[in-house]
């Protein structure tokens, strides 16, 4: 009897264990498919891979300068000594604003000559009137009257000449005391100042007193190394940023390339036209210049911000629908600014996630 019970026990135990295993297999939950939640859908952005002309970029360094075609250089009208200097480099000035006051012996002499001319006119006018009266009474000849008349006209011409000289040397901005005022001929900013109170100046000096520029347009003079000269041509678009505003980019155009290399630095200078509406660019600032131009070849391109870098490898998240996403490895050709050119890994027209793609990538990487 005991032998019979042991037999049924041996048979039953494997069956019970087998049943337990089957029950566990049946009740195990299958892995869940990853889907974008409503919140995540509002956090992402989707773009499409396309075919683009490959762009080439060249990095240059340069310096901000004022536009020399839109500057006014002010020179002295007469020799003298600077009595006052009312502005400094960087000051904003309005047309007609006083910049400096000069004490000049030449101006004082012009006013003295003007006073002498007035006296001569009065004398010759009186003589002419006398000769006219005498000529009418037959006391003097017509010749004597004409000579007196010509002397009067000469003194008038002499006064006109002196007045013209005074107008050239300051006009209403000068005085009989010998001072004349330098005023701003146009609105703008003082970008150069070469005088101070007490300085003596000469009319024939080569150096200007002030330079005024409106700074609404500036130049960037960039340096091109000899090996990069074939990659530069007039009309190419450039992007420029400065140390002062590293996150702000300005768009400009290469306007002119030098035909000679700088004898000291052995670089070619190129001039870039740049608008400066907010007046943040100041002459003398250091500038980073990025020159971009298109090559003849094309490749698949995607936004650079769509690429996920992981352990030296590049990936994108391909999007078909909210529950059909896939991590695809890329073979990157080159990266140029906000574009990444691809040899393989995505197909033209394929949708990819370009915003918060790293969050989605981590969901797949954690599995």
Closest to 56 in 3D by CA, of 290, 234, 257: 290
Q: SS3 for 169? A: coil
The pLDDT-based confidence of 336 (bands split at 50, 70, 90) is confident
Q: Is the pLDDT assigned to residue 279 strictly greater than 90?
A: no
pLDDT tens-digit map of 188-224: 889 889 999 988 988 777 788 999 988 888 999 999 9
Q: How far apart are CA 259 and CA 261, in angstroms?
A: 7
Task: Give ∠ CA 354-358-362 in degrees, rounded to 5.
Answer: 140
Least confident range from 160-174, 215-229, 300-314: namely: 160-174
What are the structural domains, with CATH classification, of the chain? Answer: 38-54+297-365 (2.40.420.20), 59-68+214-296 (2.40.30.170), 74-212 (2.40.50.100)
pLDDT tens-digit map of 179-191: 888 889 888 889 8
pLDDT at 366: 65
Query: pTM surpassing 0.85?
Result: no
Q: Is the pLDDT assigned to residue 63 strictly greater than 70?
A: yes
Q: Is the pLDDT assigned to residue 146 strictly greater than 80?
A: yes
The pLDDT-based confidence of 139 (bands split at 50, 70, 90) is confident
Q: How far apart are CA 308 and CA 302, in angstroms?
A: 12
């Amino acid at each position: 009897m005991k032998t019979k019970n042991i037999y049924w026990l041996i048979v039953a135990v494997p069956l019970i264990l087998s049943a337990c295993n089957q029950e566990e297999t049946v009740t195990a939950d299958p892995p869940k498919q990853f889907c974008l939640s409503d919140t995540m859908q509002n956090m992402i952005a989707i773009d499409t891979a396309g075919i683009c002309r490959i762009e080439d970029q060249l990095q240059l360094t340069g310096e901000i300068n004022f536009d020399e075609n839109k500057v006014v250089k002010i020179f002295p009208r007469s020799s003298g000594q600077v009595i006052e200097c009312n502005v400094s480099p960087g000051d904003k000035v309005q047309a007609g604003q006083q910049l400096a006051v000069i004490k000049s012996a030449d101006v004082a002499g012009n006013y003295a000559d003007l006073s002498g001319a007035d006296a001569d006119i009065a004398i010759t006018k009186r003589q002419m009137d006398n000769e006219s009266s005498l000529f009418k009474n037959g006391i003097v000849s017509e010749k004597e009257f004409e000579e007196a008349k010509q002397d009067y006209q000469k003194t008038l011409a002499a006064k006109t000449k002196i007045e013209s000289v005074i107008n050239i040397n300051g006009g209403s901005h000068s005085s009989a005391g010998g001072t004349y005022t330098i005023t701003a001929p146009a609105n703008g900013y003082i970008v150069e100042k070469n005088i101070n109170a007490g300085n003596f100046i000469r009319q024939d000096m080569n150096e200007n007193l002030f330079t005024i520029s409106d700074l609404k347009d500036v130049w960037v003079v960039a340096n091109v190394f000899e090996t990069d000269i074939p990659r530069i041509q007039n009309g190419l678009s450039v992007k420029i940023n400065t140390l002062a505003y590293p996150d702000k980019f300005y768009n400009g155009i290469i306007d002119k390339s030098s035909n000679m290399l700088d004898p000291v630095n052995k670089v070619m200078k190129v001039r870039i036209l740049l608008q400066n509406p907010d007046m943040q660019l100041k002459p003398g600032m250091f500038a980073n210049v990025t020159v971009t131009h298109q090559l003849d070849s094309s490749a698949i391109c995607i936004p650079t911000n769509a690429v996920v870098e992981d352990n030296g490898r590049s990936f994108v998240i391909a999007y078909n629908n909210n529950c059909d996403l896939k991590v695809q490895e890329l073979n990157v050709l080159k990266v140029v600014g906000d574009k990444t050119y691809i040899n393989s890994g995505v197909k033209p027209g394929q949708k990819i996630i370009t915003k918060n793609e790293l969050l989605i990538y981590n969901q797949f990487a954690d599995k």
